[in-house]
Chains A and B, each alone.
Chain A
Amino acid sequence: MPPAKSFFKNLLYSFIVLILLLGILFLSRSFIEKVVSNPLDYFKSPLSATDIYFSAVFIALIVIAVLFSYIVYLLLGYKTRFDLEIWSATKDTALSKEQFKKLYESAPVPYILLDKEATIHNPNKAALRFFGVLPEEIEGKNIFSYIAGEDRGPAEKMFQYYKSSMPINRKEMDMVTKSGEVRSVQLSIFEMKNPGSFSTTGLAMIFDITEQKMLDKAKTEFVSLASHQLRTPLATTKWLTEMLVSGDIGELSPKQSEYLDKLHTANEDMVDLVDVLLNVSRIEMGSLSVDLKPTNVEELTESILNELAFLVDKKKIQVKKEYNGLLKDIKSDPKLLRIVIQNLVSNALKYTPIGGTVTISFEERGNEKRIKVSDTGFGIPKSQQSKIFTKLFRADNVRQLTDSQGTGLGLYLVKSVVASIGGSINFVSEENKGSTFTITL
């Protein structure tokens, strides 16, 4: 209970007690009067009335005085307690004010108080560090004047935003410091209503995200660089091998040709592996960019089948195309969709025994567009179906196939890529009967 409230309650009780006591005294007055007027009847005492009168009044006065002092004592006691409460409350407020000040001053995030004209007051230490200034160099300036760029348009726009009390929440922008360095920040400004007045002020917070941005850039650059460095030797090997195989620089013995063919195949596998690995790192680093544009899925699929023709021929697989004249112009990312379809079709071909059938069909239902790839292959064991999209997972039944060199990354990549282009993937599969993968876009 708050101290003030209990104080009043206690005061009320003391008054009730006081009134009760006074009431009793008042009621007993007639009795006292009788005693006083005719004491001999009551006390059978030889004392004179005046003697007793004095004693009775004296006793009564003492009783009243005791009661009165008791009440005064109670009142004083409560007052003292109340004062103590106030004192400790004030101390608490002072402490939390001090704590708040400390928090504001030494917070690692730049904080700035703004008046309604967005003028800077009270920048904290982090803010001074961020801008590289002394307090007097920055106080009184408009915060939006620190937005970088020759064009004052965006700064002006933000200022209008602020003046019309529109919230500014984690708005990304570039700010320029005293040394002229441009840093990427997220700016948030909260409106604060000042108690007891109609004026409002703002609390600006500046999150410096320059490092984060640089890290993102470094990540993307790393993948590009790795892509370049890994592929250059592969391209060289590819072409040098082709040069030898073609016989352009001298005839080879059959055995030499055979070995070179193997070298060529191994190198092509390596090219594919590098592609998958780079795409997986792009996904994991979050640097996969999606570029939606008109996409002809039929054309895309045909070109993929063209690339995989050697595998189709080698395994004598019948490819059924049920395009139904659909998906000739959808909005998607052709490069990413290519990765998805390429993986599904090459999986279907890889995991279907010689002479099997692979069917690619397109469906359209309302807004939903579906691409289905089914095969009459080995299928996925029921017990392992839940793990099929897990990175590096390969089902037991295909792991035993000697001629399949899967990485366990394909379907993981497919699922991630499908998600990034706003689609979903599911499948049905039965061991030794085949699988059907369906992409819904």
Chain B
Amino acid sequence: MDNEKKKILIVDDNENLVTVLVDKFSKSGFETLGAVNGEDGLKKALEFHPDIILLDLVMPVMDGLGMLKQLREDVWGKTAKVMILTLLDDAGYVANAMDANVLGYIVKTDLSLDGIVKQIKTVLKII
């Protein structure tokens, strides 16, 4: 495992979800940051340059797709790793996000917390 802590940004409008994910990832050895909407998420992403962003799609103020679009316009953001965190099994919605060059998507109710951590670690190649 890398000595340097990996940074993860979690963007979701449900504060409870952000709290539990932030706790879990912190316990799992990540440097974790939470944001509650796309605007907030975008600001934090561009500031902290996380190694990976877990992004919800349906959010107030600025939704996930909106944030993704703006993120991709940034020099750093163009290649930032993004994983979609969704509840929707709405294929169209996810397909739109997949177009914006994301690593994949996690359906919230499908995976356990450990499962999510494992998946993120696999994606970041730290296990």
Contacts and interface: CB of A to CB of B under 8 A. Distances in A.
6 closest A-B pairs by beta carbon, nearest first, are: A235-B108, A236-B16, A231-B87, A242-B113, A239-B20, A248-B27
A99 interface: no
Q: How large is the interface on B (under 10, 10 to 19, 20 to 34, 35 or more residues)?
A: 10 to 19
B90 A224 contact: yes
17 contacts: A227-B87, A227-B88, A227-B90, A228-B58, A231-B108, A232-B17, A232-B108, A236-B16, A236-B20, A238-B109, A239-B17, A239-B113, A243-B113, A248-B24, A271-B109, A291-B91, A335-B89
B23 interface: yes
Contacts of A249: 23, 27
B17 A236 contact: yes
A200 interface: no
B14 interface: yes
Interface of A: 224, 227-228, 231-232, 234-236, 238-240, 242-243, 246, 248-249, 271, 289, 291, 335
B114 interface: yes
Given A224-B90, A236-B14, 16 more contacts: A231-B87, A231-B109, A232-B17, A232-B87, A232-B108, A235-B17, A236-B16, A236-B17, A236-B20, A239-B113, A242-B113, A242-B114, A243-B24, A248-B27, A249-B27, A271-B109
Nearest to B24: A243
A291 B95 CA distance: 13
Interface of B: 14, 16-17, 20-21, 23-24, 27, 58, 87-91, 108-109, 112-114
B111 to A, nearest CB: 9
Contacts of B114: 242, 246
Interface SS majority for chain A: helix
A117 B23 CA distance: 72
Contacts of A238: 109, 112
A242 B21 CA distance: 11
Contacts of A246: 113-114
A243 B87 CA distance: 20
Contacts of A243: 20, 23-24, 113
A356 B124 CA distance: 43
A246 B20 CA distance: 12
A235 B109 contact: yes
A248 B117 CA distance: 14
Contacts of B24: 239, 243, 248
Nearest to B58: A228
Contacts of A232: 14, 17, 87, 108
A183 to B, nearest CB: 24
| Chain B CB within 10 A, most for which of A243, A271, A289 | A243
A335 B23 CA distance: 33
